[in-house]
Amino acid sequence: MDRGSTTDGDRAVSSPVGVVLLLAVTIAAVTVTVVAGSAALGAVTDDARSSGAENALSQLSSQTSLVALGETDTKRFDLGSVDGGDLRLEEDAGHVRVWIERGGEVDPVFDDSFGTLVYEGDRRTVAMQGGGVWTADGDRGRMVSPPEYHYRGDTLTFPIVRLEGDGSAPAARGTVRQKQVGASVFDPGDNPLQDGTVVVEVRSDYYEGWYDFFSQRAEGDVTKDDDARTVTARLVVPEEVAVDKPLSIGGGGYDYRGQDPLHEDDYETGQSHPSPSTVIANQLSIAQSDGDGDVSNCFDGGTCSAGTYYADGDVTLDGDVDFDTTDGDVVVAIDGTFDIGGHNLQITDETDNEVRYYIDGDLELNNPRIGTTATSTDAKRTQFYVNGGVAENTNGIGNAEIDAIIYAPNAFLEVSGNPTLRGAFVFGGVDLGGAADVQHDPELADFQLTITGGPGQNPITYLHVSENVVEVGFD
């Protein structure tokens, strides 16, 4: 056999085979690159279109709010950057309910659809709903711009913006036109609210965005239901506690050693007092984030002026403190126990401004003088809100002289010595000993303390809910 000629033939055949294989690999690589590049380009293009839709709908939302709230009758719009997706108005999309719960009863305020202008791209949806703009990418919804919902202090203002119109959108241009403005769905004459809980519930494809908004920027005790695609915010009407008797006692009862020092008209027993925990927690949060610094700025100089002061832990007073409230109230928020000992806390000016203590622990005291330097009692100018006990680690309160309001419904107070208590005092239980002198301040006869409900609940006193309808028309 001629091995040389065979080798030459094999080489002749292998050359075109190699070329074919190289071409095949090249074509496959190019195909994969084109497919991957097309997918990436599609994703980039869709993201760009969706971002354009977010910007366009945010601008339209601002224009729509002007129309909805009556600042103008009509506004023209042109969503020129919205293309490559489906634009439509869904009148029944998004639902809002508002009601008030009182003693097991439900008082409905509002129950209807928002209406939603939707831009649906390949991978992302953008929507204008409730005066805000929202987006969802299949995983979760988020807020682009906030809705018309405003909680400030103890007031909720909720101008509900509803969209109506033809569902089809042949063009991304048109007009938003005023149809109904400021129709109150809650009688303003029912303000201020006296009791109960205001509940706002939103059912929406963008409920997670609503949840983030309510949780982070709108206040309230907020929950969500993923199955029902709803988010619920609860705002509690503060309870007003009368202090028209010098001594109000909870379930711990009232006892005394020796002769009863109080007339039966001077105290009440078996009372149910709301917890001060939320009032104290709110003040701690405010004092920590927006206050005038550590409580040492108030106590260490001997004289404390108007401001809000915070302590992150127990505080033991090491000297007397005078308060000058000429320029405003003094607020002291202590995240722990406050031990006054036998030191004096007195207001020296003659204004009506107050010194208020919010104590998330115990109040310890033994023989202090607390109140004002005036000859009158002025008990409401000094207020203590205490989450724990009072005089837990001292032998009674000695010969303390206190002109104040002390709201400590979780405390059981044992009194020994000869204290003088003028004002109003709320305790869980009381055991009086010695020769305690308990007096009421007549100026507190019509005075009430405002106590918010349980933990995680935010106060509301004024509710303003209106229905504002905007008609969306496309060219």
Residues 331-341 have pLDDT tens digits of 999 999 999 99
- Same domain? 265 vs 166: no
Return the bridge partners of 248, or none.
268, 426
pLDDT over 70 at 100, yes or no: yes
pLDDT confidence of residue 35: 45
pLDDT confidence of residue 46: 47
Residue 454 identity: G
In a domain, 397, yes or no: yes
pLDDT over 70 at 26, yes or no: no
The SS3 assignment for 41 reads: helix
Residue 376 identity: S
- Same domain? 159 vs 63: yes
In a domain, 61, yes or no: yes
The whole-angstrom separation of Cα 107 and Cα 196 is 10
pLDDT over 60 at 10, yes or no: no
Find out whether 131 and 64 touch, Cβ atoms under 8 Å.
yes
The SS3 assignment for 89 reads: strand
What's the gap between Cα 401 and its chain centre? 39
Q: What is the pTM of this model?
A: 0.58
Residue 474 identity: F
pLDDT tens column, 37-90: 444 444 444 455 557 778 888 888 888 889 888 888 899 988 876 666 688 899
In a domain, 38, yes or no: no
- Report which of residues 98 and 263 the model is more confident about: 98
- Same domain? 298 vs 439: yes
The whole-angstrom separation of Cα 114 and Cα 74 is 19
CA angle at 474 for the pair 56 and 81, rounded to the nearest 5°: 25
Query: What does the block give as tokens for 7?
Result: 């080798």
Q: Give the model's confidence band at 36: pLDDT under 50 very low, under 70 low, under 90 confident, else very high.
A: very low
The whole-angstrom separation of Cα 432 and Cα 245 is 16
Residue 408 identity: A
pLDDT over 50 at 377, yes or no: yes
User: Total domain count for the chain?
Assistant: 2
Residue burial 331-345, b: 16+ Cβ < 10 Å; e: rest = bbbbbebbbbeebbb
Among residues 335, 405, 337, 395, the alpha carbon closest in space to that of 370 is found at 405
pLDDT tens column, 418-468: 889 999 999 999 988 777 888 999 999 999 998 875 444 567 889 999 999
Burial (CB < 10 A; 0-12, 13-18, 19+), residue 51, is middle
DSSP state of 390: B
Residues with Cβ < 8 Å from 459, sequence gap 6 or more?
A: 154, 235, 236, 237, 238, 278, 450, 452, 453
Residues with Cβ < 8 Å from 293, sequence gap 6 or more?
A: 309, 310
DSSP state of 294: B
Find out whether 424 and 405 touch, Cβ atoms under 8 Å.
yes
pLDDT confidence of residue 49: 59
pLDDT over 80 at 21, yes or no: no
In a domain, 413, yes or no: yes
pLDDT over 70 at 258, yes or no: no
Rounded average pLDDT over 92-110 = 92
- Residue 164 phi, psi dihedral angles, 5° rounding: -130, 160
- Report which of residues 450 and 385 the model is more confident about: 385
- Same domain? 225 vs 123: yes
The whole-angstrom separation of Cα 143 and Cα 429 is 50
pLDDT confidence of residue 443: 93
- Report which of residues 257 and 6 the model is more confident about: 257
pLDDT tens column, 183-228: 999 999 999 887 788 999 999 999 999 999 998 876 678 899 999 9
pLDDT confidence of residue 84: 61
Query: How far apart are the two ends of the chain, measured CA to CA in Å?
Result: 88
Among residues 461, 462, 456, 460, the alpha carbon closest in space to that of 278 is found at 456
- Report which of residues 354 and 215 the model is more confident about: 354
- Same domain? 159 vs 107: yes
Query: What does the block give as tokens for 342?
Result: 């036998």
pLDDT over 60 at 360, yes or no: yes
The three-state DSSP-derived secondary structure of 232-274 is: EEEEECCEEEECCCCEEEEEEEEEECCCCCCCHHHEECCCCCC
pLDDT confidence of residue 219: 67
- Same domain? 415 vs 470: no
pLDDT over 90 at 326, yes or no: yes
- Same domain? 251 vs 356: yes
- Same domain? 215 vs 306: no
Express as a percent the part of the chain with pLDDT over 70. Answer: 85
Residue 226 identity: D
In a domain, 4, yes or no: no
Helix H or strand E segment including 14: helix 3-68
Q: Give the model's confidence band at 4: pLDDT under 50 very low, under 70 low, under 90 confident, else very high.
A: very low
- Same domain? 155 vs 194: yes
- Same domain? 400 vs 413: yes
Rounded average pLDDT over 269-294 = 88
In a domain, 18, yes or no: no
In a domain, 16, yes or no: no
Domain assignment of residue 184, given as a range:
57-238+459-474
pLDDT confidence of residue 471: 93
Residue 272 identity: S
Burial (CB < 10 A; 0-12, 13-18, 19+), residue 312, is middle
- Same domain? 313 vs 372: yes
Query: What does the block give as tokens for 299?
Result: 């106590």
Residue 120 identity: E
For the chain, what is the mean pLDDT?
Answer: 85
- Same domain? 220 vs 246: no
Find out whether 54 and 90 touch, Cβ atoms under 8 Å.
no
Residue burial 154-169, b: 16+ Cβ < 10 Å; e: rest = bebebbbbbbbbeeeb
In a domain, 15, yes or no: no
